[in-house]
Amino acid sequence: MKNTVVLLVVFLFAGTVWSQEVKNNKSAIDNKVAALLSKMSIEEKVGQMTQITVTNFEVTGKKGILDAAKLKEGIQKYHIGSILNVPNPGAQTIEQWKGVISTISTEANKTRLKIPVLYGIDAIHGASYTQGATLFPQQIGLAATFNTELVKKGAQISAYETRASSIPWVFSPDLDFPRNPAWSRMWETFGEDAYLSSKMAVALVEGYEGDGVGSKYQVASCMKHYIGYGSTTSGKDRTPSIIPERILRQYDLTIYQAAIKVGAKSVMVSSGEINGTPVHASKHLITDILKNELGFSGVVVTDWKDIIYLYTRHKVAESNRDAVKIAVMAGIDMSMVPEDFTFYTDLVDLVNKGEVPISRIDDAVSRILKMKFELNLFENTVADPKDYPAFGSEEHIEKAYQTAAESITLLKNKEAILPLDKNEKILVTGATANSMKYLNGGWSYTWQGENSDTYAADKFTILEAFQNKIGKENVLYTPGADLEIENDAEIEKAVALAKQASKIVLCLGEKNYTETPGDISNIYMSDSQIKLALALAKLDKPIILILNEGRPRLISDFESKMNAVIQCYLPGNEGARALVDIVYGEVNPSGRLPYNYPRYPNSLEKYNRKYTESISEGEQNDDAKYEKSYLPQYEFGTGLSYTTFKYSNIKIDKKEISSSDDITVSVEVTNSGSSQGKEAVLLYLSDNVASITPEFKSLKRFEKIELAPGETKKVSFTLNPQDLKFVNNDLKWISEKGTFTIQIGDQKADFLLQ
């Protein structure tokens, strides 16, 4: 007992010392920032707020080679504080990155105050602009794992490999909250649920930033795109949204709050507009809510050209100079200009003429300098590759494989057609069957990911993974269809080959894309692919449909004719290997859909719909046969396994609670099947009556567990008072007395809030 007390005292003392060290370090950085700021001219301050793309500094006609004179002009004359992007033509080796960052650092060290340049990169599913780096599933696939520890570990690896590239700042995580499945950036998000998105946001930020971004193995994160970006009424990228502030606070804002709470260092502002106001021009959203109400003390950076667009696209500014004034006064700290120095020249003029107060400039520059000190950039900006022996290692690759394996989602398995027998001859066909582009998607080696087959030539496509698993002699292949162009001869070839196989593996999906190049007007799977699916279905042979897509493209024209359906999302470089292991039963699938998969283009309800969005059987009558208004192809949370799980004995510790009480819920989960498997246990809550129409159900907790055949685990969750609240019309979070229903699997329990 005595030793226990001593150890406890030592532990508490160590914790106190550590806390004091953190406080002292924070105070020391604040002092350094203040001291440096006092020495800076207006021009040097405005330069810190200026971010330029690295391609601006390339030798004319020689892509990828930095022009010393151009770089000197940017750093010495315009005092730029940040550079972003990847040199042409795409992903660099870690040695090449070392050369780029060393050149920039050397030039910065020639300046009067020797302030380092902050380099940022779109490393959104691994160090995706570095050759040989480990690429994970895109964010929508991470959400499908429902495994925050696995996601956090992946972010740690991504941070490690990005720092190995001498880059300290990543434009991730994407905290957008998509409401239209046509939106081209849906796959960059965590899907349609705010709670799931919040937990995944925390996992990524904690993985990226660790215990401190000053470590040579951690990076500063950048939340994006604040706020409402995923709610465009048209479904097209960078188009207007109409979102009541009550809705923003109930959903979108909670995701950012969670990331800010765990220390996210920066935020990128949405390119869109809400209710007629571009977010880059909104003092209410950026300063009043983000900085003042939420207490965000990090750097607020624009997206690409978005201050310029206030003038040229949004038409809320009469000139570029006017746009700069509007954005900076709204609360922007750094402008991703990124291809000229107009922001710098206009802002210097605005400050000199008293139209932008120096206090606003000092606030912005203090935030930028603080992040640079926190990142230890004043000590070192260039990585030594010898410090990163695990870069691209088998250990890192294995973690990417595990993440892909837990993300891939089995949506249908009619008559247990899966897993397949390795002795069967199969036909692999479809437009996405034999390219790494469709496994990785955009932001992979290049902006649109079009060169993934070159950079990831040593990785398996879906076809190659099947050939590797069961031998080329057992795998027939033809493309069958182009993603867009109809080719009857190719379809006929696929049909002929299918007659020689016992099963068909049909790989359908989308091209690689992101942002505006990914805009579509039709969310159905392309006509060429539908035609192939229907032609193969006429053979009456079992078909396993493999979906390789960034958003749910409608498959209702032929889904009923498929024996099995697997959603891969964009699983990254190890995705095909994981997929084939699932198809042959070496891995038991455990992914779950992070969104509703719609059946029709005019029926896009979310799982947490309102009651008026569903017409139940009991509400129909003989005289009026209504189409059900809620009938998704697959619902949020859908995910099958090769084993079965039984839920039983749900219990709650209180039947009645006050508004300050927690409530603990438990349920027993049994693997009632014959194989080991993982199960994401999801807890939904329904507020049965409320003054703001309640949701049908809302996800409040989840936990992923693994069970052997016959094994039972008791899973417990604790709900707190905040879980019972909603935002009312006065923009206040409130809870109201009444009955609530908890649902876990097929188990339900009610409690009363007094």
Name residue 751's beta-bridge partners. 740
User: What residues have CB less than 8 Å from 380, skipping those under 6 apart?
Assistant: 216
Q: How open is the CA angle 516-517-521, to the nearest 5 degrees? A: 80
Active site residue 303: yes
Q: Distance between CA atoms of 579 and 547, rounded to whole angstroms?
A: 11
Q: List strands edge to edge, sheet with 663-671.
A: 645-652, 663-671, 712-719
User: What residues have CB less than 8 Å from 101, skipping those under 6 apart?
Assistant: 119, 166, 167, 381, 382, 383
Show the tokens assigned to 81.
Answer: 């504080």
Q: Distance between CA atoms of 478 and 463, rounded to whole angstroms?
A: 10
Q: Which amino acid is at 312?
A: T
Show the tokens assigned to 697.
Answer: 């159900």
Bond preceding residue 225 cis, omega within 30 of 0: yes
CB atoms within 10 A of CB 610: 14
Q: Distance between CA atoms of 638 and 656, rounded to whole angstroms?
A: 32
Bond preceding residue 389 cis, omega within 30 of 0: no
> Which three-class secondary structure state does DSSP give residue 688?
coil
- H/E run at residue 649: strand 645-652
Q: Is 523 exposed, middle or buried (0-12, 13-18, 19+ CB in 10 A)?
A: middle
Name residue 343's beta-bridge partners. none
Q: List strands edge to edge, sheet with 426-429.
A: 409-413, 564-567, 543-548, 503-509, 426-429, 475-478
User: Minimal CA–CA distance to 723: which of 751, 692, 701?
Assistant: 701
CB atoms within 10 A of CB 371: 25
Catalytic residue among 176, 303, 333, 453: 303
Place of tokens 């730029």: 80
Burial track 136-153 (b if 16+ CB lie within 10 A, e otherwise): bbbbbbbbbbbbbebbbb
Do the beta carbons of residue 208 and residue 172 sit within 8 Å? yes
Q: Distance between CA atoms of 754 and 745, rounded to whole angstroms?
A: 26
Q: How open is the CA angle 650-651-656, to the nearest 5 degrees? A: 135
Pairing of strands 475-478, 426-429: parallel
User: Minimal CA–CA distance to 474: which of 510, 512, 523, 424?
Assistant: 424
Show the tokens assigned to 152.
Answer: 């956090």
Per DSSP, the residues of 80-102 read: --EEES--TTS-B-HHHHHHHHH
Q: Distance between CA atoms of 446 and 468, rounded to whole angstroms?
A: 28
What is the distance of C-alpha 748 from the center of its chain? 32
Q: Distance between CA atoms of 220 and 210, rounded to whole angstroms?
A: 9
Show the tokens assigned to 725.
Answer: 């609240």
Q: Distance between CA atoms of 126 and 162, rounded to whole angstroms?
A: 8
> In residues, how long is the chain?
754
- H/E run at residue 751: strand 747-753
Q: Distance between CA atoms of 339 and 358, rounded to whole angstroms?
A: 25
Catalytic residues: 303
